[in-house]
Amino acid sequence: MRKLATAALLTALTLPAFAAEFITIGTGGVTGTYYPTGGAICRLVNQYKKETKIRCSVESTGGSVYNINTIKNGELDFGIAQSDVVYQASKGTGKYKGEPVKKLKSVMAIYPELLTLVARKDANINKLSDVKGKRINLGNPGSGNEATALDLFKYSNIKKSDLALAGALKASEMPDALRDNKIDAYFYMVGHPTANIKDASNSVDVKIVPLEGKNVDELIKTHPYFAKADVPGGMYKGNDKPTPTFGVKAVLVTSDDVSEKAVYTVVKAILENFDTFKKLHPAYSNITKKSLLDGLSAPLHEGAKKYFKEAGIL
């Protein structure tokens, strides 16, 4: 894997060559929730590096689809991805039609992610159909963000060509583009609260647009990995009431090729420090040890299975 050069250098300086195992977690943009989640996991894993000889590092990436493809190619050991994208990759549907990623394995489902439409107040986007004729950022190509927005469009009789602009900015670029009036709104599949939307709402008046109706009901009925939820009120300036939408789970995934020891160590580090972990980001406040097994749409890795069984959760 791609850490070999670094591993060789560090082991030559500090440890016998056989002693250390280096793992990298692919995340997303630095202002989203994936990046601090990867950092939180690595912090807990690295507390035990003297005993386990496992060193964890985090990488900012293009998100769900990128992470799964990179794991498939053996360039990343772990990645965080939306449960709908994990489902498609595991079953060979959607973006992965006819090409299932058979080696893809789940480690745990971490927290809920909600599809959030963040609009400038002066753009007068009060419901989904109002995006027609507007400049809307769907997400960078290959992100779960873009995939989910396009799924919603399909069930809502909206085409990309209906938009004045179908943007492909990365998550980290979206708040500035909204503030600078380069876009009218952006979709973001994310755990709340997020610094990304806080940045946007602190620099321009924004509205979190409700995503509800028969179109959303039909989408959820056809895609069982989606579920209704609300973006809580009071998290972002000017948005004091809960806003209905739907979402998925953020899932930590890995490959069959990653050692049972590495996966076991990651799960153990999180579960044995669960109260500490929950305090590392507000998006984790309502998760439970049992909820880590909800919404998994790829088989559980043997290393994860081993620890969950030992802990009496599975």
Domains of the chain, residue spans:
22-112+249-311, 114-248
On the question of a common fold for 22-112+249-311 and 114-248, the answer reads yes
d(CA 194, CA 303): 31
Q: In angstroms, rounded to a whole number, what is the distance separating the alpha carbons of residues 290 and 108?
A: 10
Quick count: other Cβ atoms within 10 Å of Cβ 295? 23
pLDDT of residue 15: 45
- CA 190, CA 2: separation in Å to the nearest integer? 28
Q: What six digits make up the tokens of 258?
A: 């990653």
CATH 3.40.190.10 fits 114-248, yes or no: yes
What local confidence, expressed as pLDDT, does residue 14 receive? 47
The candidate with the shortest Cα–Cα distance to 156, out of 94, 212, 230, 222, is: 212
Helices 64-72/144-155 angle, 10° precision = 120
Tell me the CATH number of domain 22-112+249-311, given options 3.40.50.11540, 3.40.190.10, 3.90.1150.10, 3.30.2130.10: 3.40.190.10
The pLDDT of residue 289: 94
Would you state the pLDDT for residue 282?
87
Lookup: tokens for 9:
């250098």
Task: Please list the pLDDT of the chain residue by residue as tens digits (314 residues).
Answer: 554 444 444 444 444 445 789 999 999 988 889 999 999 999 999 999 999 999 999 999 999 999 999 999 999 999 999 999 999 999 999 889 999 999 999 999 999 899 999 999 999 999 999 999 999 999 998 788 898 999 999 999 999 999 999 999 999 999 999 999 999 999 999 999 999 999 999 999 999 999 999 999 999 998 878 888 899 899 999 999 999 999 999 999 999 999 999 999 999 999 999 999 999 988 898 899 999 998 898 999 999 999 999 999 99
Omega prior to 193 cis, within 30 of 0: yes
Question: How much is the pLDDT for 77?
Answer: 98
Tokens found for residue 79: 């990645």
What pLDDT shows up at residue 294? 87
Beta-bridge partners for 245: 229
